[in-house]
Structure 1
Amino acid sequence: MTAVRGLRIWCEMVAHADIAAPSVLAALAERRIGLVVAALPGPRADLVRLARSAKDRGLSFAVWPMLADTAGRWASVDNAERFSAYVRALVDELDREGALPEEIAIDLEPPINRLRGMLALDRSAPRAPHPADGGASLRALVRDLRSRVPTPIRVSAAVIPLVLFDDEAAGFERWLGTPVGSIGWDHASVMVYTSLIEGYSRGLLRRDDVRPLLASSCLFTAARFGARAGVSLGAVGKGALGDEATYRSPRELADDVAIARAAGVEALTLFDLGGVLGRPPMEAWLDAFAFTAPAPCLPEATWRSRATKNLVRGAARLLGAAGSLRRERG
């Protein structure tokens, strides 16, 4: 068997030392699955060792910077200045240690407490206006990393799938505070986690409904980002929110891989290695991810999947119109 090119795995809910275990790195290297490793504030020794071990194994190695939850965790216009300062310091430190990554992956999501409120449909969740200069701070960070001397660093984005439904008004991007279209990312991986879509729908969508939504999202992603397009699949294990629904078995992961590849997306990233290691055997998950062929055809839309797409499109237009009205009044 030959593994698909462009496969990577998110490593968030797993310690750096556990990722560096020889059996884990060997299994990833055998399947040519690269690493995208979370880096929160704290000691760096294990991350540095992991970077060197990955290089020795011939694995691609990207660093996924994160702040503490109290600072929002992921990148958005709300914490852009603080996030950018952290990334610059992190890159300089890794460079001094001889562990400079080939890529920085920036996860574009609202601050974690706000996202929890959104997913819980909590209308009372506090919502401050987005800072006006947050997008400029992130653009400057990406520009500086890509033009870094003497070693440029690629910069990728993890993207919430709602932004695929934006038109030129960028309604969801503004509402979420996650600038996608205004930044020249080297790669964009849209997080189409079918288990989460099904789980957070609270019974409104079933597996048969989210399969065509995955197919549509992959087609939209390929059309929007072209050669830079990628899709993140999952979830095998729970993430930082703690209430994420997960795949029932490796068969669902294989099904998602088959759909994504049939839709023309080969650059795939799996969430997450912690789930893979926590639901043994890890080889079953990694094989499903690495060795699944494209589906012979894409799944047909269901009435629920059509209704969901229409609802999201309508919301994008409303948010875009509201943003345009605010700018005119301002």
Structure 2
Amino acid sequence: MTTPRRLRIWCEMVTHAEITSPAVLAALAQRKIGLIVAAQPGPRADLVRLAQAARDAGLSFAVWPMLADAAGRWASVDNAATFASYVHALVGELDAAGALPDEIALDLEPPIDRLRRMLGLDPPARSAPPPDDGAAILGALVRDLRARVPTPIRVSAAVIPLVLLDDERSGLERWLGTPVGSIAWDHASVMVYTTLIEGYSRGLLTRNDVRPLLASACLRTAARFGARAGVSLGAVGKGALGDEATYRSAAELADDVAIARAAGLEDLTLFDLGGVLRRPPWEAWLDAFAFTAPAPRLPEATWKSRATEKLGRGASRWLGAFGSLRRTRG
């Protein structure tokens, strides 16, 4: 049985008005690339217009809720209650305006300030422990959206690739505060951004090392999530952190697409539209994403890629054991 292709693009570093441009929507429609649009607190008029324009163009339309940076930006156990309240309010506003999305995408990442410190190899500042019910709150939000009457909404998760290295103890998932395994997501897109892996390795990993890491992550994603599996590729432009490494050329994006497809994944999402539009000719990036064939074979592992995965699995086991011990003593 052949897995149907589904292509979408994250829209974060771009305004809703820019996305609504007829030229942009036509280019996406020609390549059958749907939209996943960030929505932070604020006015909704442009988002509502975009929802209608996307439907008129025949594009799928998903909304990607985000809080302000001071509230963590992305969803995690730390801000679960605030995030759930915001999503309920956002869905209500869009429904009232006739702009209800096909899907809500929840980006599961630690609060942005903490993530910046992690990536900078600085120990996160001490803070109050996250609420014990954070995962339960996010799980209830997903159930509420999926059971919504009369219009259920699919809910997907954007997933940090580290959690693929977890065993049954879920050490990295718990450490990051991103409840993946305990929630019945309709879809999971693992964010295997080869440019970020290479860039944040600070020279330890090269492009040749991260290519097999992408292949391995895609295989693990397919094994874990089955028909719900997808992968996000990137980055074409910088994101919210501001220091992300990006593709050197569209050929690197095409290479990532070829690897992901060779690993059996046909549900692909590109990060992000803002980067594409700021790197002309921007149609070349969309062509590389939409029209690249699967690679004839997956890249072979390097000693560095093997060592990276081994270190990640070891960290997961240690964190899982540490978490279990702490709960026992507590």
For residue 233 of structure 1, what is the aligned residue in structure 2? 233
**1:87-138 Cα distance to aligned partner (Å, 9 max, x none):** 0000000000000001000000000000000000102533432211101110
TM-score of the two chains, using structure 2 as the length reference: 0.98
Runs of 4+ in 1 over 4 A off after TM superposition: none
Q: Conserved in 2, the CA contact under 8 Å of 1:5 and 1:32?
A: no
Residue of structure 1 in register with 2:242 after alignment? 242
Give the distance between the partners of 2:16 and 2:281, measured in 1 at CA.
20
Task: State the match for 2:281 in structure 1.
Answer: 281
Aligned to 1:159: 159
Q: CA deviation at 1:165?
A: 0.6
Q: Is residue 2:176 matched to residue 1:191?
A: no
Matched letter for residue 36 of structure 1: I
1:204-249 per-residue CA deviation (whole Å, 9 max, x = no partner) reads: 0000000000000000000000000000000000000000000000
User: What is the alpha-carbon distance in structure 1 between the residues aligned to residue 123 and residue 291 of structure 2?
Assistant: 43
1:270 is matched with which residue? 270
Give TM-score scaled by structure 1 length: 0.98
Q: Which residue of 2 aligns with 1:57?
A: 57
Instruction: Provide the C-alpha distance between the structure 2 equivalents of 1:124 and 1:250, rounded to a whole number of angstroms.
Output: 35
Alignment-mate amino acid for residue 218 of structure 2: C
CA distance in 2, matches of 1:255, 1:153: 33
Map Cα deviations across residues 51-88 of structure 1 (whole Å, 9 max, x no partner).
00000111000000000000000000000000000000
- Kindly indicate whether the alpha-carbon contact (under 8 Å) linking 2:232 and 2:269 is maintained by their aligned counterparts in 1: yes
268-277 vs 128-137, greater mean Cα deviation = 128-137
Other-structure match for 2:11: 11
Unaligned runs of 5+ in 2: none
1:158 alignment partner, SS class:
strand
Task: Give, as a single letter, the amino acid of the residue that structure 2 aligns with 1:189.
Answer: S
Q: Is the 8 A contact 2:114 2:124 kept in 1?
A: no
Retained in 2: the 8 A contact 1:238–1:275? yes
Alpha-carbon separation, structure 1, partners of 2:146 and 2:323? 31
Q: 1:305 & 1:229 partners in 2: Cα distance?
A: 22
For residues 231 and 124 of structure 2, the distance between their equivalents in structure 1, rounded to whole angstroms, comes to 32
| Distance in structure 1 (CA, Å) of the matches to 2:236 and 2:124 | 31
Residues 124 and 30 (structure 1), Cα distance of their counterparts in 2 relative to 1, 3 Å cut:
closer
Residue 306 of structure 1 aligns with which residue?
A: 306
CA distance in 2, matches of 1:62, 1:168: 31
Select between 164-173 and 202-211 the one with higher mean Cα deviation: 164-173
Is it true that 1:258 corresponds to 2:272 in the alignment?
Answer: no
Q: Which amino acid aligns with 1:113?
A: D
Separation in 1 of the partners of 2:229 and 2:112? 25
Q: Which residue of 1 aligns with 2:99?
A: 99
- 1:179 maps to 179
Alignment-derived partner of residue 114 in structure 1: 114
> What is the CA RMSD across the aligned residues, in angstroms?
0.8
Letter in 2 for 1:23: A
2:196–2:246 CA contact under 8 A, matched in 1:
yes
Q: How far is 1:28 from its partner? A: 0.1
Deviation track 1:39-62 (CA, whole Å, cap 9, x = no partner) reads 000000000000000001110000
Q: Which runs of 5+ in 1 are unaligned?
A: none
Deviates more, 1:299-308 or 1:4-13: 4-13
Is the contact made by 1:250 and 1:288 (CA closer than 8 Å) also made in structure 2? yes
Q: 1:9–1:33: 8 Å Cα contact kept in structure 2?
A: yes
Contact 1:114 1:127 in 2 (8 A): no
